[in-house]
């Protein structure tokens, strides 16, 4: 069996870049065979998890090449100090990490770059390479669009490329709050603060919108941020909305969030979806035909988790049913994982606009022409056009107006959206509220704003209406 392990190592050496082989595979030790399991020793827990998460399919492929129906079992066997050379070959020291463990999958290499996320990618890459325009980044996006992936990619990169070798702290807003409360209860606040500040190279703080309403936590966080900013440390925030739209946070914390580069990740455009589907399929070891790829890209438009889940689902079904992955298999699966849009959308939009602009439903559907009412009405028309299947005529009817008024309203709002400023932010905020309401369907994305002017190029045909 030692011989078998030797042949497996040879196969892995061919499959992997030399550096990865040296760092990850070489330190493994063959322990023996137990039943149908090949026991392999990993030098530490981190190596074990990394191997499982990144290289297990390659191990299995190597076994297949040997035509053996065996499995691998990895266990940690701590090296004694004489053998610490093996540990030393690891490119980083996992003890540099404070807080949550980073996912080995979330790397720059695994991130598919497209128009929707190019700026975010470039900003994070520059930061990781110590060549940043700003050492503070605020990544902002809807769910499943890659915020955590990019922020953890920075962490993983710094762990592998030690540089100054400072500590890397990765926390969610909830973690930060929980640690703070625990430290307070145990009368160890100073210790907590010290830990977050001393020797830290980077703080990655996820989902900062969850600090809303937590006044004491906000104050403590602001102080910690001051310290880190003054010391020139890297800070990466993620959130589902820009700082100016987070409610119930103190202006002093808001301004600290706004202190660096605020970068938005947009939902993936058609070509990026195609590239993501190809990459995720490749990772699962399958090659999808073009028809299936196009179908998935046309129908899975927002959350990238949905694309991942579709691919895993297709692989599982095709292997259980012993069938190839066909268009009809893909159609069946997509129907299951994309629930129907709630039919109440237009009522939801009208309620939302009334609440947001503090106008009544009667005013919205009246002939009144005060500025506030006219503007709210135009926003409601735009949102109905964007988020429902209603025709221009029927949207007009909802507001007691004709088709031409709806056309004018949509043009006007599109114009406002093309200019930065409070009006644009207000409308974007309302769009996000509706997207959250529609979740997890999330059929609409930025690409489709242009559908209102008849220029949408891909996607759900129901949205391809011109004025
Ligand atoms: N551009 C991309 N290329 C490849 N995979 C991606 C990309 N963007 C996102 N993903 C994948 O989609 C999944 C969800 O991404 P991630 O966890 O980063 O989303 P998120 O924006 O943090 O969402 P949430 O707000 O729900 O936490 C992950 O598995 C991630 O690897």
> 349-359: per-residue pLDDT in tens?
999 999 999 99
Where are the extended beta strands (E) located within 252-293? Answer: 261-264
CA of residue 239 to ligand 1 center, whole Å = 13
- Of 26-35, 46-55, 243-252, 374-383, the one with minimum mean pLDDT is 46-55
Q: What is the ipTM of this complex?
A: 0.99
CA distance 149 to 64: 31
Percentage with pLDDT > 70 across the chain: 86
* Residue 304 beta carbon below 6 angstroms from any ligand 1 atom: yes
CA of residue 36 to ligand 1 center, whole Å = 36
* Residue 276 beta carbon below 6 angstroms from any ligand 1 atom: yes
Tens of pLDDT, residues 90-144 = 344 556 888 888 988 999 999 999 999 999 999 999 999 876 667 899 999 988 9
pLDDT tops 90 at residue 26? no
Listing DSSP states for 83-147 in one string gives GHHHHHTSSS-GGGEEESPPPTT--TTTPPP-TTTHHHHHHHHHHHTT--S-SEEEEE-STTSSH
105: tokens are 């999958």
43 three-state secondary structure: coil
Is the peptide bond prior to 440 cis by the omega test (within 30 degrees of 0)? yes
Residue nearest to atom 10 of ligand 1 (CA): 146
- From residue 89, alpha-carbon distances to 20, 280, 382 in Å are 11, 30, 59
User: Looking up tokens 């298999």, which residue turns up?
Assistant: 329
Per DSSP bridges, beta strands 136-140 and 261-264 are parallel
Per DSSP bridges, beta strands 29-34 and 37-42 are antiparallel
Q: Which domains does the chain show, CATH number per domain?
A: 2-88 (3.30.300.180), 96-264 (3.40.50.300), 270-337 (1.10.8.60), 345-463 (1.10.1750.10)
Tens of pLDDT, residues 402-429 = 989 999 999 999 999 988 888 888 999 8
pLDDT (0 to 100) of residue 20: 67
104 marked as binding residue: no
- Residue 63 banded pLDDT, cuts 50, 70, 90: confident
pLDDT (0 to 100) of residue 94: 56
Return the number of other C-beta atoms located less than 10 Å from residue 82's C-beta: 6
343 marked as binding residue: no
Q: What number is the average pLDDT over the span 50-64?
A: 82
CA of residue 303 to ligand 1 center, whole Å = 8
Q: Is the Cβ–Cβ distance between 66 and 8 less than 8 Å?
A: yes
CA distance 206 to 139: 9
CA of residue 150 to ligand 1 center, whole Å = 8
Residue nearest to atom 7 of ligand 1 (CA): 146
- From residue 160, alpha-carbon distances to 20, 185, 383 in Å are 11, 36, 46
Residue nearest to atom 5 of ligand 1 (CA): 111
* Residue 112 beta carbon below 6 angstroms from any ligand 1 atom: yes
* Residue 99 beta carbon below 6 angstroms from any ligand 1 atom: no
Best CA proximity match to 33, nearest among 69, 79, 61: 69
* Residue 301 beta carbon below 6 angstroms from any ligand 1 atom: no
The contacts of residue 147 (CB under 8 Å, 6+ apart) are 139, 140, 141, 206, 238, 239, 265
Per DSSP bridges, beta strands 136-140 and 234-239 are parallel
CA distance 19 to 13: 10
Q: Is the Cβ–Cβ distance between 72 and 29 less than 8 Å?
A: no
- The residue to mutate among 146, 153, 282, having the most atoms of ligand 1 within 8 angstroms of its beta carbon, is 146
Return the number of other C-beta atoms located less than 10 Å from residue 239's C-beta: 23
């Amino acid at each position: 069996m030692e011989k078998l392990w030797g042949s497996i190592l040879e196969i892995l050496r061919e499959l992997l870049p030399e550096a990865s082989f040296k760092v990850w595979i070489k330190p493994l030790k063959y322990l023996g065979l137990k039943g149908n399991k090949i026991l392999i020793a990993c030098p530490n827990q981190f190596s074990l998890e990394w191997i499982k998460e990144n290289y297990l399919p390659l191990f299995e492929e190597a076994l297949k090449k040997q035509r053996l129906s065996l499995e691998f079992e990895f266990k940690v066997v701590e090296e004694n100090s004489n053998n610490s050379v093996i540990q030393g070959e690891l490119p980083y020291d996992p003890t540099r990490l404070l807080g949550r463990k980073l996912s080995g999958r979330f790397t720059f290499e695994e991130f598919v770059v497209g128009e929707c996320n190019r700026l975010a990618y470039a900003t994070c890459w520059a930061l990781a390479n110590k060549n940043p325009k700003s050492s503070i980044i605020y990544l902002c996006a809807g769910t499943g669009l890659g915020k955590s992936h990019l922020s953890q990619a920075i962490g993983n990169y710094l762990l592998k490329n030690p540089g100054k070798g400072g500590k890397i702290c990765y926390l969610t807003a909830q973690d930060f709050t929980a640690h703070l409360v625990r430290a307070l209860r145990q009368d160890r606040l100073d210790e907590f603060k010290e830990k977050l500040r001393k020797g830290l190279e980077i703080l990655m703080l996820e989902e900062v919108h969850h600090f809303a309403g937590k006044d004491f936590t906000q104050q403590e966080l602001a102080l910690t941020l001051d310290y880190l900013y003054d010391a020139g440390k890297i800070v990466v925030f993620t959130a589902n909305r820009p700082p100016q739209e987070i409610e119930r946070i103190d202006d002093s914390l808001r301004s600290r969030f706004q202190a660096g580069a605020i970068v938005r990740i947009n939902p993936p455009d058609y070509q990026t979806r195609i590239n993501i589907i190809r990459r995720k399929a490749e990772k699962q070891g399958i090659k999808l035909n073009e028809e299936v790829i196009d179908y998935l890209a046309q129908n899975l438009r927002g959350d990238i988790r949905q694309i991942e889940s579709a691919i895993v689902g297709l692989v599982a079904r095709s292997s259980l049913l012993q069938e190839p992955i066909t268009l009809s298999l893909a159609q069946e699966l997509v129907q299951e994982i994309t629930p129907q849009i709630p039919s109440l959308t237009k009522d939801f939009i009208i309620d939302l606009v009334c609440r947001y602009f503090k106008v009544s439903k009667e005013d919205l559907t009246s002939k009144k022409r005060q500025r506030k009412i006219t503007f709210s009405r135009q926003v409601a028309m735009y949102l109905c056009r964007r988020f429902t299947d209603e025709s221009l005529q029927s949207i007009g009817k909802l507001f007691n107006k004709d088709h031409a008024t709806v056309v004018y309203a949509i043009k006007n709002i599109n114009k406002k959206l093309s200019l930065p400023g409070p009006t644009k932010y207000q409308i974007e905020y309302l769009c996000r509220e509706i997207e959250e309401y529609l979740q997890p369907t999330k059929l609409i994305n930025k690409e489709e704003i242009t559908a209102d002017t008849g220029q949408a190029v891909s996607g759900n045909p129901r949205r391809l209406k011109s004025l």
